[in-house]
Structure 1
Amino acid sequence: MKIIFEAEAEGLVPLKKTLEMKLYPRVIRFVPNDENSLEKVSIEREIKDYDHLLPQIIFKKDRNPEMYIPMQNFSEEEMLMQHIESFAALDFGLRKIYWQTPRITWVPETEDEKVKITMPTYKRSFQYNLPKSEITLTWLQETVVHRDRVMHLVSPLSFFRIGSNHFHNFGYSEAFLNFYLMLEGLFGNGQSKNHKVENAFENAPTLMHAISETVLYLDNDTEKNTHKSWMVNFLQEKGWKYDNLGIIKAIICIRGNLSHYYFKSSRKQRDSFNEKENESIAWITMTICVFSTIKLRLDPFRAGGNQ
């Protein structure tokens, strides 16, 4: 039985015909599109012990059939594509290989293998369920008519927009750094030293309230337990408390770690291929930003409003 791990490529990399290279036990292929540009990268290999890896269709009484895809390890294929991606970006301007969302195809070599396959091809994908609120005329009027009162938020919110785009494309490190820039711009008082930023954050009532609301949300929403557990564990490792001040310390600490890189240091080894480890801090910081904006948008319409 053979399996093909295929990922789409982005970027106008010239390629007139399919390239094929054998790297035992794998075969690597670069496939062009009709415009003579690289469209896909695929890695094929043979699997002898495959029965426990094949997708299954499960039939249950009085229920629709369900697809079951066993846990599959494609770490070697992913690392090989990451290697190609990094060097092709440098040498040919490749933008990305979508190795996180590949198409998996099972290719039987015998009739016995063929009858075992119930789902020959499928695509691994991830997506977020984004809000579906409809934009209204009232929102447009209130946003535009009173724009002078909230003009100071346009630049900080641009970092939120960029961060959100990265987050929903699973670029959690860049997402977090942009959410941090929003908070730093609004509440950091122009400071750059960690201890001074920490002090500025602690003395910003709006930010402290937003963190409290985020903690309350984490405590009450069981679907976000993984994010809370991650934060609690991180703080315990540092010897910090799970409270507003501890979360501020965590945000500033992680911002420092993600802003530097030294390949010989485990602490400074930001891994652009393992974005998943930064999902929780990105989500928590994004939520703090959202809660912060609620008060920031209302303050200009109140007498004596402040941060």
Structure 2
Amino acid sequence: MHLSIKIQIEGEFTINENLSINIEKRSKSVAIIRENNKLYLIVSKEVIDYNDKMPILNAHYFKPTPKDFFQDLIDIVRYVEAIGSEFLHLHKVFWDEFEIIWTPDVPEEEHIYPVYSYKESLSNHSSPKLISVKTLRHIFDERNKYEVLTVPMSFYRLGNRFFHNMEFKMAFIQHYLMLDYCFSNGQFETKKVIRAFLSNKTLRFGAYRYLQYFLKTANDKDITFYNKQRGIFNQYDSYKKCRKYSSHVDFLLAMLVELRGKVFHASDKTVNYVSDEEFPSLSRIIWGLCSQVTGLLRLELFCIKQDRDKLWTFNENEMLMKE
């Protein structure tokens, strides 16, 4: 049995005939085809043990193929999307809808399952938010105050778009840029940025509010990632001299700054500081923090400093790690 993902692409290029090559020691194939005057990218792999991976359809429910089973095919499309912008003049990959196709290789594999193809979307969008005239009016009535948030909220919007499209590395970068713009005080050196982050009451309170939720309700993968990073950080001599990060708030903010340096700059490109499997956890953590911070930034515009100092206070002893 072969598993394929078929996705529409657009760009300033054309083909005279359908193109197909084998890659990764012929275990996978990549093709570009024309169909109904549209161009499609098809990435395929052979699957030997497919019984528990095939989609299931019965009178009560539909069970799709698990996304993590074809993540390797998605990674290949991501590679073509990035590199193809230069070599193929590729402009767009239609991630909102692509097709999952199972192709029998021998007659014995035919008619085993009722479903051999279906549409899929690479996103985790939540339900649409209902807005009102009152909300729209408020945005423009307070434009003189809100305009200062134009740049950071642009980073936040891009981060959310990448996050919902499951491009977790790009989501992390954009969400971090929002925090950096608002709270780094123009610093670039890691220790100085950490110091700036830890001295900002709004950011610390946002981290506290987020951690109240995260430490009690996060899934096991996210908690495992968080604890792994905490263990790594406490071994660093530079951190022991500066601060042991016994505080969850201090550790969270320091972790994001430190991993920003490793992800952005990649001074040692042979070291995988955050694995592909861990990036969803890192991205969910910073996304949750930024969601809290955006609300506080809006409130901050309408509070005097004395009120903020009273409101942005917390008792970290209230936070408990999930058992």
TM-score range, shorter chain: 0.7 to 0.9
- How many Å apart are 1:94 and its aligned residue? 2.0
Q: 2:260 aligns with which of 255, 276, 281?
A: 255
Q: Pairwise mapping of residues 53-64 of structure 1 onto structure 2 (< 5 A)?
A: 53-57=53-57, 64=60
Seen in structure 2, the aligned counterparts of structure 1 residues 135 and 80 have a Cα distance that, compared at 3 Å, is: closer
Distance in 1 separating the partners of 2:294 and 2:75: 40
Q: Pairwise mapping of residues 261-276 of structure 1 onto structure 2 (< 5 A)?
A: 261=266, 264-267=269-272, 274=276, 276=277
Matched with 2:181 is 185
Cα deviation digits, residues 125-148 of structure 1 (max 9, x gap)? 442232432111111222211221
**Aligned letter for 2:132?**
T
> Is the aligned partner of 1:244 residue 2:249?
yes
Matched with 1:149 is 145
Distance in 2 separating the partners of 1:212 and 1:30: 49
> Is the aligned partner of 1:42 residue 2:37?
no
- How many Å apart are 1:213 and its aligned residue? 0.4
Distance in 2 separating the partners of 1:293 and 1:46: 45
> Is the aligned partner of 1:31 residue 2:33?
yes
**2:185 alignment partner, SS class:** coil
Could you tell me the TM-score, scaled by structure 2's length?
A: 0.75
**2:118 alignment partner, SS class:** strand
Seen in structure 2, the aligned counterparts of structure 1 residues 221 and 57 have a Cα distance that, compared at 3 Å, is: same
Distance in 1 separating the partners of 2:123 and 2:44: 26
Distance in 1 separating the partners of 2:96 and 2:246: 35
Q: Give unmatched runs, 5+ long, in structure 2.
A: 235-244, 310-323
- How many Å apart are 1:19 and its aligned residue? 2.5
> Quick check: 242-251 or 227-236, which moved more?
227-236
Matched with 2:9 is 9
Matched with 2:63 is 67
Using the aligned pairs only, state the percent identity.
21
Q: Pairwise mapping of residues 128-207 of structure 1 onto structure 2 (< 5 A)?
A: 128-207=124-203
Q: Pairwise mapping of residues 110-125 of structure 1 onto structure 2 (< 5 A)?
A: 111-125=107-121
Cα deviation digits, residues 61-100 of structure 1 (max 9, x gap)? xxx2453647985577566656655554332212466799
**Aligned letter for 1:30?**
I
> Is the aligned partner of 1:19 residue 2:19?
yes
**Aligned letter for 1:293?**
T
Distance in 2 separating the partners of 1:134 and 1:70: 31
Cα deviation digits, residues 141-187 of structure 1 (max 9, x gap)? 22211221232222221111111111111222222222222212211
Q: Give unmatched runs, 5+ long, in structure 1.
A: none
**Aligned letter for 2:204?**
M
Distance in 1 separating the partners of 2:146 and 2:68: 50
Seen in structure 2, the aligned counterparts of structure 1 residues 185 and 31 have a Cα distance that, compared at 3 Å, is: same
Matched with 1:288 is 289
Distance in 1 separating the partners of 2:64 and 2:191: 50
**Root-mean-square deviation (Å):** 3.5
How many residues end up aligned between the 2 structures? 296
> Quick check: 161-170 or 147-156, which moved more?
147-156
Distance in 2 separating the partners of 1:4 and 1:279: 23
> Quick check: 64-73 or 162-171, which moved more?
64-73
Distance in 2 separating the partners of 1:71 and 1:178: 24
- How many Å apart are 1:53 and its aligned residue? 4.6
Seen in structure 2, the aligned counterparts of structure 1 residues 214 and 116 have a Cα distance that, compared at 3 Å, is: same
- How many Å apart are 1:199 and its aligned residue? 0.9
Q: Is the 8 A contact 1:58 1:68 kept in 2?
A: no
Could you tell me the TM-score, scaled by structure 1's length?
A: 0.79
- How many Å apart are 1:203 and its aligned residue? 0.9
Distance in 2 separating the partners of 1:258 and 1:110: 45
Q: Pairwise mapping of residues 79-94 of structure 1 onto structure 2 (< 5 A)?
A: 87-94=83-90
